[in-house]
Amino acid sequence: MSENQLSIIRNDADIAVGLQRLLQVDPRLVPIAETAGPLPLRLAAPGFAGLASIIVSQMVSRASADAIWRRIELAGPVTAQAYAELPPEVIATFGLSRAKASTLKSLSEAVLNGAIDLDGICAIEGEAALRQLVLLPGIGPWTAEVYLMFCAGHADIFPGGDVALQTSVGRAFAMEARPTAKALAEIAKSWAPHRSVAARLFWAYYAATMRREALPIV
């Protein structure tokens, strides 16, 4: 991983190094890693399209999210400028909920008026970047954390509010009930500064044990 002030995941080799260090720090993760198999890299370019795809991924089903994203792509370039210029009747054909349609519209306007620099924010330390992102209408902590993980490549992010991660950690550690977001964030502290690798590990473990994909679309 990068030795710069902000540690960044750029390739599968960074994932491998992070996982090796995680298993040394917390040997409980060894059998979890064996079950999980290869960990996904799943990096996407930062910018409007990257964050928009994460927003769309929060649909009831992956099939619905995939279908909506295909319609958005077919409408033209997925840029802030192009999206802001789409007529309401075109946006209405995408299948977005009213809240998500409003979030994407507000996001395109925020990018265009300079309220947020989605590329520049990738070089900012995690907590500071999160504070800026959640100021945007409709952008909550999970969305911001996933953007920093998969578009910025931040190496030390763990979305404790993710239900699949809560379920996966609870299952892996034989908990009576899945941990709350607060409890999971506390558990994940011991995996710093490789929490983004730990999150990938538990998403992969979820997929392997539940036979169901849980990663966000990016």
- What tens digit of pLDDT does each residue of 164-202 get? 999 999 999 999 999 999 999 999 999 999 999 999 999
Q: Mean pLDDT over residues 85-112, rounded?
A: 96
Which range has the worst mean pLDDT, 72-76, 123-127, 165-169? Answer: 123-127
**Taking a C-beta distance cutoff of 8 angstroms, is the pair 74, 26 a contact?**
no
Q: Is pLDDT above 90 for 3?
A: no
Domain 23-41+156-210: give its CATH code.
1.10.1670.40
Q: Give the contacts of 179 (CB within 8 A, at least 6 positions apart).
A: 166, 169, 170, 187
pLDDT at 2: 39
* Confidence grade of residue 58 (pLDDT, cut at 50, 70, 90): confident
Domain 48-150: give its CATH code.
1.10.340.30
Domains in the chain: boundaries: 23-41+156-210, 48-150
Q: Is pLDDT above 90 for 31?
A: yes
Long-range contacts of 57-63 (CB under 8 A, 24+ apart): 57/216, 57/217, 57/218, 58/100, 58/142, 58/143, 58/216, 62/213, 62/217
**Taking a C-beta distance cutoff of 8 angstroms, is the pair 7, 155 a contact?**
yes
CA distance 24 to 195: 14
CA distance 207 to 204: 5
pTM: 0.91
pLDDT at 62: 84
Burial pattern 140-175, b for ≥16 Cβ within 10 A else e, equals: eebbbbbbbbbbbbbbbbbbbbbebbbbbbbbbeee
Q: Is pLDDT above 60 for 47?
A: yes
Q: How many CA atoms lie within 13 A of 70 on its CB side?
A: 6
* Confidence grade of residue 216 (pLDDT, cut at 50, 70, 90): low
pLDDT digits (tens, 9 = 90+) for 136-164: 999 999 999 999 999 999 999 999 999 99
Mean predicted lDDT score pLDDT of the chain: 93
pLDDT digits (tens, 9 = 90+) for 82-94: 999 999 999 999 9
What's the burial of 27, exposed, middle or buried (CB within 10 Å: 0-12/13-18/19+)? exposed
